[in-house]
């Protein structure tokens, strides 16, 4: 039986849904006016799409927490068989950020850290990230980030893989990095990093699978079979919508199982 794990989801609250940068995403996904769903709706969407477990992420931005780690941990505690937590921290205060990351992992059971570069307009080779990278290695958890252009009306440059992630992966060879949202339009850069670094992975969140760039699909069918993770970016996209045309990718059974959940289970130690 194939285990399906959503590598990037969030259960948003009212503060998150009220962010002005969210409007273009809701327009593109044909959900203008979308409100924060109850937790039951997130679970129902998972069931409808055949998702066994979702990694729910917290969000911190330059103005403070949008979804804090305790809120995410409470959702995980309510349904530990369905959710795992991904921490976030405030880059403005590096010492406190490391302390919060350690608390989130040691006390709250979070399995990774995610920082979204466009939200800060700071690429991941900025000095503010470096104490966190060291902490991720010590805690033996992945660093998750966003790669590629931004849906929100914010600069896309912080999500460019080369030179920013290339520098990080060179300087932190023990750091496991998961680049979310595919990396378009820099797919060649994404694949080159994945070929170069055995600890760099890609998740397909924010994309229905039939819209994945052809180069990434070719990579998945070949040497990238162990390096690409399924994700949704719920509630912007549901698993049912993302996987509707999965059969069209032409994946063999083993590659399909790795993509849907096997790779995520290994990377996040689920």
Please state the φ and ψ torsions of residue 81, each to the nearest 5 degrees: -80, -15
Do 82 and 54 touch, CB atoms closer than 8 A?
A: yes
Do 191 and 215 touch, CB atoms closer than 8 A?
A: yes
Give the full edge-to-edge strand order of the sheet including 53-57: 5-9, 53-57, 83-87, 112-115, 143-146, 177-180, 200-203, 228-229
Residue 83, pLDDT score? 98
Do 5 and 265 touch, CB atoms closer than 8 A?
A: yes
Q: What is the spatial distance between Cα 115 and Cα 75, in angstroms, rounded to a whole number?
A: 20
Do 104 and 112 touch, CB atoms closer than 8 A?
A: no
Instruction: Provide block-wise average pLDDT over 10 residues at a time, the chain (270 residues).
Output: 91 90 72 80 97 98 96 98 98 97 98 98 98 98 97 92 98 98 98 98 97 97 97 95 96 97 98
Residue 18, pLDDT score? 87
| Total residues belonging to the chain | 270
Residue 73, pLDDT score? 98
- Tracing tokens 């039986």 back to the chain, one arrives at 1
């Amino acid at each position: 039986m194939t285990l399906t794990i959503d590598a990037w989801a969030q259960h948003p609250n009212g503060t998150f849904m009220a962010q002005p940068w969210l409007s273009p995403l809701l327009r593109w996904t044909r959900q203008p006016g979308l409100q924060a769903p109850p937790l039951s709706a997130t679970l129902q969407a998972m069931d409808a799409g055949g998702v066994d477990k979702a990694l729910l992420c917290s969000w911190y931005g330059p103005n403070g927490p949008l979804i804090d780690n305790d809120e995410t941990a409470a959702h995980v505690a309510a349904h530990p068989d369905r959710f795992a937590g991904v921490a976030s921290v405030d880059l403005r205060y590096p010492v406190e950020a490391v302390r919060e990351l350690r608390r989130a992992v040691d006390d709250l059971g979070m399995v990774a850290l995610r920082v979204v570069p466009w939200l800060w307009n700071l690429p991941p080779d900025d000095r503010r990230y470096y104490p966190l990278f060291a902490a991720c290695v010590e805690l033996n958890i992945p660093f998750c980030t966003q790669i590629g252009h931004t849906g929100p009306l914010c600069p896309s440059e912080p999500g460019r893989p080369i030179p920013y992630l290339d520098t990080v992966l060179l300087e932190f060879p023990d750091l496991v990095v998961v680049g979310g949202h595919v990396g378009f339009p820099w797919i060649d850069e994404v694949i080159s990093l994945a070929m170069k670094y055995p600890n760099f992975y890609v998740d397909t969140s924010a994309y229905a699978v039939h819209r994945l760039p052809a180069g990434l699909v070719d990579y998945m069918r070949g040497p990238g079979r162990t390096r690409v993770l399924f994700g949704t970016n719920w509630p912007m996209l549901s698993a049912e919508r993302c996987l509707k045309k999965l059969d069209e990718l032409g994946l063999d059974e083993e590659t399909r199982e790795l993509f849907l959940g096997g790779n995520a289970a290994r990377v996040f130690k689920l």
